């Protein structure tokens, strides 16, 4: 079992260090938010949060750090067709998303609950299939699709 298989047990500074990112104060605050507190935040969301909990972080540092986290495999950047800004996803396992269109909120969907079987023949090789399910929650009081992937 690799050192960070159970990432939840480590302090964020440890996670950064063992991913090869020097844990500065700004980076720890940003990583703490995207890895532990936020749900599919945009860079703007991250900046807004940091403006509350950290004395002065620049937009450049927010983007630099998010890009570093992506490059070192700690989070993913995803762009959806309904919005211009990228969202950052701390769940690194393969999963899809459900968009509740009235609210704009995203929910994780377990790929086991979506059968995707392309039959494109032999002339192409598939590396990945992106799926975005759009619709609306019937009872927005509930937490999302019944198949929501629980946070790791």
Binding residues for a second copy, rule: CB under 8 A, are: 78-81, 98, 100-101, 109, 113-139, 142, 144-147
Phi and psi at 60, nearest 5°, equal: -60, -40
Q: How far is the CB of 46 from Mn ion (least distance, A)?
A: 9
- Select from Zn ion, a second copy, DNA, none the partner in contact with residue 4, using the beta carbon and a kind-dependent cut-off of 5 to 8 Å: none
- Select from DNA, Mn ion, Zn ion, none the partner in contact with residue 45, using the beta carbon and a kind-dependent cut-off of 5 to 8 Å: Mn ion
Residue 18, interface with Mn ion (CB under 5 A)?
no
Which of these, 38, 34, 33, 31, lies nearest to 15 by C-alpha position?
A: 31
Closer residue to a second copy in complex, CB, 1/122: 122
Using CB atoms within 10 A of its CB, is residue 98 exposed (0-12), middle (13-18) or buried (19+)? buried
Distance from the first to the final alpha carbon of the chain: 16
Q: Which helix (H) or strand (E) holds 19?
A: helix 12-19
Closer residue to DNA in complex, CB, 28/149: 28
Other Cβ atoms closer than 10 A to 121: 6
Which of 4, 42, 64, 148: binder of Mn ion (CB under 5 A)? Answer: 42
- Select from Zn ion, a second copy, DNA, none the partner in contact with residue 89, using the beta carbon and a kind-dependent cut-off of 5 to 8 Å: Zn ion
What the block records as the tokens of 63 is: 């983007």
Q: How far is the CB of 68 from DNA (least distance, A)?
A: 8
Contact residues toward Mn ion (CB under 5 A) are 42, 45
């Amino acid at each position: 079992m690799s050192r960070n298989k159970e990432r939840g047990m480590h302090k964020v500074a440890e996670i950064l260090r063992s991913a090869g990112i020097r844990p500065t104060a700004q980076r720890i605050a940003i990583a703490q938010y995207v890895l532990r507190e936020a749900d599919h935040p945009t860079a703007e969301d991250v900046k807004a949060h940091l403006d509350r909990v950290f004395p002065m972080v620049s937009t450049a540092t927010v983007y630099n750090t998010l890009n570093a986290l992506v490059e070192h495999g700690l989070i993913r950047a995803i762009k959806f067709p309904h919005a211009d800004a990228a969202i950052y996803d701390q769940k690194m396992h393969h999963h899809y998303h459900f968009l509740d269109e009235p609210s704009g909120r995203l929910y994780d969907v377990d790929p086991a609950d979506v059968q995707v079987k392309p039959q494109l023949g032999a002339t192409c090789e598939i590396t990945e299939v992106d799926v975005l399910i759009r619709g609306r929650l019937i009872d927005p009081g509930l937490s999302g699709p019944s198949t929501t992937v629980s946070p790791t």
